[in-house]
A = this chain, B = another copy of it.
């Protein structure tokens, strides 16, 4: 069902996620918001703050995808090594960005702009800054790589400032039909409906709520009319099974 939509990968860089210490919420935000503008997420990777590992993944993924979005590792501390790793991966100089330097000078003043904070202005040569309205130190774009902060509210603000500049694709619409039918009851007929709609992707997600098991059936595709047609067939099957349902567009 894929059209000519841009394809992206998200790379979450951070030991705090990989150690299970921190619950990630950046994956959901980025996948959902990129989906909204028709950018297809091919995969997500969570990797550690390790230079050689970052280089390996960036090299591999920047060739494979239209966009690479990274989060994390651009702060002032010794474990913030995303920028120097990306510079090395791309064979670019890792240098003080004059505009970023000025932003930090204006914000901190010369006295408080110590060596550590100055690291936040060091980037691969040719980086285009991404505005950070929360704490000033910018993200940046280098080639097809978008380097964002890891702190969720800063990452979200950075994303808001670049969203309109991204290539978009035909938006994938999503419609959910939720009922207390069990997956195993409807799976057979659902597979047949999926077979009749090659341009749609029908997903089935069991849940447990109010002490009852149920299933969310999610229909995704580019054509809303086609989605509604398949949804009607699914809803008719749920009625046959003697259950009620709730339906809604997911966005």
Q: CB within 8 Å of B: which residues of A?
A: 15-25, 27-35, 41-49, 53, 75-80, 108, 112, 114-117, 119, 135, 151, 153, 172, 174, 183-184, 187-188, 190-191, 194-195, 201-208, 213, 218, 220, 250
Contact = CB atoms under 8 A, between A and B. Distances in A.
B45 A44 contact: yes
Given A79-B203, A191-B77, A204-B75, A43 B18 contact: yes
26 contacts: A16-B205, A16-B218, A17-B27, A17-B28, A19-B31, A19-B32, A19-B41, A20-B28, A20-B31, A20-B35, A21-B250, A23-B25, A43-B47, A44-B44, A45-B46, A75-B187, A75-B204, A77-B204, A78-B195, A78-B202, A112-B184, A114-B184, A114-B187, A116-B184, A116-B187, A117-B184
Interface of A is mostly: mixed
Contacts of A174: 19, 21
A201 B28 CA distance: 28
B45 A187 contact: no
Given A24-B28, A78-B194, A220 B19 contact: yes
